[in-house]
């Protein structure tokens, strides 16, 4: 038991760990996508949100990701009308790394069994920042395991908008 704990501790301390998928390194990940989304925010980037819909197994799902500052709150909402899920984390220190997940298993009528893992974290170590991404806030992972055991899903890096410098001075 102590040997396993020591091995994990060594990996954490001495190896690069990132939550971002690298599909090119693993053919099993070829059905996964990585996207960067710029959220809609207020003028101070203190409250931000991004929403999208998806269709799967005859259902329509509404997903929202919300971020607020002071204290920092990261929240995922998933609405289907039948099953609603909410996952949130409140942090005083946005620099401290976290990861939180929930898992949902079910068999939709007329469809095969499948499992959905939805995770949220803020580990950007070594991750490239896409153009137009002001500051990465969180990574949300939707990981679908269908009965055929192929992994499908997407990973979204949510960003605040790029801040455009305001012109100062007096008009000519």
**Is residue 11, in this structure, part of any structural domain at all?**
no
pLDDT digits (tens, 9 = 90+) for 3-52: 443 333 333 333 333 455 554 445 555 567 888 999 999 998 899 999 98
**Is residue 76, in this structure, part of any structural domain at all?**
yes
Query: In this structure, what are the phi and psi dihedrals at residue 80, rounded to the nearest 5 degrees?
Result: -125, -10
**Is residue 170, in this structure, part of any structural domain at all?**
no
Q: Which domain holds residue 143?
A: 18-161
User: Would residue 124 be called left, alpha or beta, if left means φ above 0 and alpha means ψ between -120 and 50 degrees?
Assistant: alpha
Pairing of strands 114-121, 99-106: antiparallel
Structure tokens at 37: 């989304």
Question: pLDDT higher for 75 or 104?
Answer: 75
Query: What's the pTM value of the predicted model, to 2 decimals?
Result: 0.72
pLDDT at 158 over 90: yes
DSSP conformation letters of 14-74: HS----S--GGG-GGGTTEEEEEEEPEE-TTSSEEEEEEEEEETTEEEEEEEEEETTTEEE
Rounded to 5°, angle at Cα 44 from 34 and 124: 30
**Is residue 168, in this structure, part of any structural domain at all?**
no
**Is residue 5, in this structure, part of any structural domain at all?**
no
**Is residue 8, in this structure, part of any structural domain at all?**
no
pLDDT digits (tens, 9 = 90+) for 43-92: 988 999 999 898 876 778 898 999 998 889 999 998 887 778 888 899 88
**Is residue 81, in this structure, part of any structural domain at all?**
yes
Strand, helix or coil at 75? strand
């Amino acid at each position: 038991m102590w040997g396993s704990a020591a091995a994990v501790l060594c990996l954490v301390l001495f190896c690069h760990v990132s939550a971002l998928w690298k599909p090119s390194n693993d053919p099993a990940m070829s059905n996964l996508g990585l996207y960067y989304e710029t959220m809609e925010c207020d003028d101070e980037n203190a409250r931000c949100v991004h929403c999208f819909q998806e269709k799967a197994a005859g259902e329509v799902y509404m997903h929202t990701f919300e971020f607020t500052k002071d204290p920092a709150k990261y929240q995922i909402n998933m609405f289907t009308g039948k099953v609603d899920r909410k996952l949130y984390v409140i942090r005083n220190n946005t620099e401290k790394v976290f990861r939180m997940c929930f898992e949902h298993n079910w068999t939709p009528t007329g469809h095969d069994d499948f499992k959905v893992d939805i995770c949220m974290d803020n580990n950007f170590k070594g991750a490239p920042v896409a153009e137009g991404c002001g500051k990465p806030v969180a990574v949300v992972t939707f990981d679908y395991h269908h009965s055929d055991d192929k992994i499908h899903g997407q990973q979204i890096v949510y960003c605040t908008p790029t801040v455009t410098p305001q012109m100062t001075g007096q008009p000519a």
